[in-house]
């Protein structure tokens, strides 16, 4: 039981560390060139939407 709890705690800690690093890098890049970041983010979201639609079509 404690082994499972420690695994969960380690996982949560790892996710928090990765999130902090990603947030720091995102903020640094956003300050550098915000227009390009917004454009790339929009393209990435559109691509993910197309992938989700394709997968849902395949599963039907």
pLDDT at 16 over 90: yes
CA distance 56 to 24: 34
pTM greater than 0.75 (yes/no): no
pLDDT of residue 1: 62
Q: Is 37 exposed, middle or buried (0-12, 13-18, 19+ CB in 10 A)?
A: middle
Reported as a pLDDT band with limits 50, 70 and 90, residue 32 is: confident
Contact indicator for 37, 29 with CB cutoff of 8 Å = yes
Which comes out higher in pLDDT, residue 49 or 1? 49
């Amino acid at each position: 039981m404690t082994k499972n709890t420690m695994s969960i705690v380690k996982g949560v800690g790892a996710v928090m560390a990765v999130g902090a690093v990603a947030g720091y890098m995102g903020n640094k890049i956003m300050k550098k060139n915000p227009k390009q970041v917004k454009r790339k983010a929009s393209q990435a979201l559109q691509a993910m939407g197309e992938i989700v639609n394709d997968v849902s079509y395949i599963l039907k």
